[in-house]
Chains A and B, each alone.
Chain A
């Protein structure tokens, strides 16, 4: 019997760089069709609104044409026009800029404050943790919408105030999540190993602990964006948010709602834009959660 004694040359394809846990998660995310579709829609919405001022065919959002008045959707005005003859398509795109910006900036504020605060409390533990988290509990127990409304009423009603007010009430949950993560992570041996090579507390918190807790942080941040956008819409609906003539999806829905019986398209289009974006953000958030924490998925 002839047996080939020579070893067949085995050549394994070597990946260029190491596979990080992030790349693993990315691969899982790409398998989730809803999340990918949502991501694409969000990207389109984002691009459209971002490029609104320079897109050909999109008129200025505040140009009035009183002679035109409110007209239904047509070839010339895709989403129709409002009572002042302003092109609704342009207003929805420009309003989206504001809504999305509020969502992102407020989330960023909550991210920066919440992560640093929660990680610090969790890492030091003991009395520091107790004091810091009781402060969070106190803020939590205040009716936060009331807080935001007070801020908006007593200070300026500018866009920056809106960012700050919404961001400052959103960081509380983020701080709690991060604290919980850090509390369990700091027991792990690599933290002790990092201390044994002479790393200081700040170094350990931001270099070692936060990256390990980033999964839940990202998921929560993704879900914060729609929550904040909804709150902005709510505030604008009350007349406390974005001030006219500037538009956001919230103010557009508000304006549209007053004349809903006569000109339904005025509430329909901004409403659909808002709902679609919120849906996609939530789907993407869910997809990210599944991708970043595969253990949870099959329960």
Chain B
């Protein structure tokens, strides 16, 4: 199911652990959907000097966190802001379709950590963001049937197009 790169990052994750006195921290996800990530950064002269993660999640979630920290370490804040879920998934040589949401979470957690760093620099009080809704999409904004790719209304139980049940997996 997973590529060799993903398995490598899963078996030997880089930059694991909580950071003492980080300059920025991003928390994302929730146990409802089964993925939670914390990203910690230490910034000096606008460069991410050190970065670490903690993750509660599946193989993809752990691999995404690990790859993400590897990609961001040593980059400037401006460069790190350009890291997206797509670039993380590409660096991992691809993720299964139903795991792409994990890469969303990783990239978002990093951006939250960066935002936290910038907020603290500006003297703003740290605000706890509300829990992320588990309903995210890997490809665009329309809800699509995972079987026939037809557009669907997520409130329905069955796909109008092919009749298969969607309420459990969408």
Q: Do A and B bind each other?
A: no
B-side residues, CB < 8 A to A, are none
Chain A interface (Cβ < 8 Å from any Cβ of B): none
